[in-house]
Structure 1
Amino acid sequence: MDSRKSIDVTAVGIMVAVCLIWAFQQIGLKSTAVFAAPVLQIGLRSGIAAMLVFALVCARRQRLEFWGRTAGLGILAGLLFAVEFFLVGEALKHTSASHVVVFLYTAPIFAALGLHGKLPSERLSAVQWGGIAVATAGIAFAFLAPQGSGQGPADLGAMLWGDGLALLAGAAWGLTTVLIRTTRLSAAPATHVLFYQLATAFLALTGAAVLAGEAGIVPSGPLLLNIAFQAVVVSFLSFLTWFWLLTQYRASQLGVFSFMTPVFGVLLGVLLLGEPLTPEFAIGTAGVVAGIVIVSAYPWLETMLAGTRSRRTPANLAAVRRRRD
């Protein structure tokens, strides 16, 4: 029997804070890119967070596998994690942070498509396929609709390239979810999986930054604060909080609230970075968010409707009438 409970006010408050933190990470990377390349920053934050997670594992006296099949799958998940954030770092060079966060958070759509053929419990309903169609239409509109921000062809081309990289990052994230859900990693402690991802990303992304000649750092207060925030708050505390929520509350209900992250990302990009918000992109974003909500919320709504139907059986209705009499 599933002991996880339905979301309450506490869960909603925590999810709002977590989604706000996740939205802010792209803003922080974009605003400090003049001091260090985003890919290098992500690599460094991953290394610091990996050490924090390792310390937590040791404090709990857990055994972390460094060899064997689980470790191999963990490294593979880490490589996908590194690909995701490499694409995020590159996307931030060409497009706005608000665009990156919207396209990155199409990951639930890609995960749903990948899990559909892998796990019987994750097969998509007709309603969810409709949600995917809505999200796809939103993505297409954001890409293909004429942009009203006064950009020249070169700027527009760079923006679309960055948007495409962010969308690929979302696909990589979705593939990571499929890998974790369909292999023995699903039975591994969340801290172990997180350590594999962070440690592998640290090695891969810092190495990529060095090979690309982007290992230079201009020491500054904003950069140090951002890396500390990214490592401690984003990659360590927020991820552990998310995993804790998954142990306490129903995942289908928590997933519905992921739509807040792209919404927060757009608002923060406009308010803090002065990024333009064109009507075309706003409409496309609305389609993406609506699609995510439809796909994520359907299992929750189906469960609620099933519970309502079960309470309206003839026997239950007769019992209610007897109590009234």
Structure 2
Amino acid sequence: METNGARGGWRWGLLGAVAPVTWGSVYFVTLHWIPPEEPLTAALLRALPAGLLLLAVRRRLPRGAWWWRAGVLGVLNCGAFFVLVYLASKLLPTAVAAMLMSLSPLVMMLLAWALLNERPTVRRLAGGALGVLGVVLMLASSIGPIDGWGVISSLTAMGMYALGSVLAKRWSGHVDAVTASAWQLTAGGLLLLPIALAFEGAPSLVDAEAVVAYAYVSVIATALAFVCWFGALRRLHAGQVGLLGLLNPVTGVLLGMLAGGELLSMLQWLGIAAVLAGVLLGQVLGSGRGRAGSA
């Protein structure tokens, strides 16, 4: 019979899955409704409103070491990360960028081993490898010209977010997920503010559809997603949560099919199945924070 801990682990796993699913929708929303000419402004309007919203909910300011920790996480998980992801999307085919980002669960496992003493299990390593294979199968037919700077941008963004997630988990005992998300999103947004104004000036006027799109990206795909992601990281192993990130490209592909009228090949369906199998493999017997290295 399933234990209470296992049931709790699955609940937190499902909550954590909200984040990559909503992140997988961001590309589709951005492509269709958000102006592409102002990437820094788009990153700013994604991070800062989300952070201020959560700050209004929690009404707590950082104390002590959390002033610099919020800045570090703001750069790694929000400010620089959002900009690098945008650059990668412009310099690389979406398929290539997604393949590179799919390496993040494996990188998170290695960083968690080094920084948190969470030894990666064979099951989770296999799940990560299976997930990467699935992403390749899903997107291999869409590979186009590869730009070196795009690869650097994508790999840097992937490494930064993996490190930011592990550091957030390392520091998670001091504040709750809503508070930590509020501080890092606000810090990231404030760091972006002068840069966006210097390079792009005041935001352009946008139509009602763009306003709704910005609101969705900021409130749902950022504020809510960050709380779910970092809430799951507080209670589950970093490698276990990292594998959930593989749901990001799956969401993007399925949205392209459902909303964009794209037809998926048998190879793509096989890739989706492989990704889901890899994610599930990493969740089996992986509930709770438990002893590092436990299955």
Q: TM-score, length-normalised on structure 2?
A: 0.73
Of residues 174, 177, 184, the one that matches 1:197 is 184
What root-mean-square deviation, in Å, do the aligned CA atoms of Structure 1 and Structure 2 show?
4.2
Match of 1:52 in 2: 53
Mapped contact 2:34–2:213 kept (Cα < 8 A):
no
Kindly tell me: are residues 13 and 289 of structure 1, through their superposed partners in 2, closer, same or farther at Cα, counting changes over 3 Å? closer
Greater Rg by CA: 1
Show the counterpart of 2:158.
170
Taking the aligned partners of 1:291 and 1:189, their CA distance within structure 2 comes to 29
For 2:283, give the aligned amino acid.
Answer: A
Q: Which moved more, 1:222-231 or 1:14-23?
A: 14-23
Give the structure 2 partner of residue 22 of structure 1: 23
Deviation at 1:222, TM superposition (A): 2.1
Shift in Å, 1:192: 2.5
Per the alignment, residue 93 of structure 1 pairs with 90
CA distance in 1, matches of 2:112, 2:274: 22
Cα offsets for 1:249-287 (capped at 9, x unmatched): 756876665443321122213443567978888877776
For the Cα contact (< 8 Å) 1:6–1:253, is it kept in 2?
no
Q: Identify if the C-alpha distance between structure 1 residues 223 and 241 changes in structure 2 by more than 3 Å, giving closer, same or farther.
A: same
Alpha-carbon contact 2:131-2:279 (below 8 Å) kept: yes
The 5 A counterparts of 1:1-325 are 4=5, 6=7, 19-34=20-35, 36-58=37-59, 63-66=60-63, 68-81=64-77, 82-95=79-92, 100=97, 103-120=100-117, 122-134=118-130, 148=141, 156-158=145-147, 162=150, 165-182=153-170, 184-213=171-200, 217-242=204-229, 257-273=244-260, 291=278, 293-294=280-281, 296-297=282-283, 299-300=285-286
Farther-moved stretch of structure 1 (172-181 vs 17-26): 17-26
Please name the residue that 1:320 is paired with.
none
Residue 92 of structure 1, CA deviation: 2.4
Q: Unaligned regions of 5+ residues in structure 1, if any? A: 304-325
State the alpha-carbon separation in 2 of the partners of residues 276 and 9 from structure 1.
32
Between 1:223-232 and 1:186-195, the stretch displaced more is: 186-195
Q: Distance in 1 between matches of 2:88 and 2:272?
A: 17
Q: Tell me, which stretches of 5 or more residues in structure 2 are unaligned?
A: 290-295
Q: CA deviation at 1:172?
A: 1.3
Query: Number of matched residues?
Result: 285
Aligned-partner residue type, residue 110 of structure 1 = V
Q: Which amino acid aligns with 2:111?
A: G
The superposition leaves residues 61-89 of structure 1 with CA deviations (integer Å, 9 ceiling, x where unpaired) of: xx4225x3222122111111222211112
Q: Is the Cα contact below 8 Å between 1:131 and 1:292 reproduced in 2?
A: yes
Q: Is the CA contact 1:23–1:261 (under 8 Å) kept in the aligned structure 2? A: yes
- Match of 2:119, as an amino acid? R
For residues 35 and 125 of structure 2, the distance between their equivalents in structure 1, rounded to whole angstroms, comes to: 42
- TM-score, normalised to structure 1, is 0.68
> Per the alignment, in what secondary structure is the counterpart of residue 146 of structure 2?
helix
Matched-pair contact (CA < 8 Å) for 1:44–1:227: yes
Residues 12/285 of structure 1: CA separation in 2 closer, same or farther (3 Å cut): closer
Aligned residue in 2 for 1:310: none
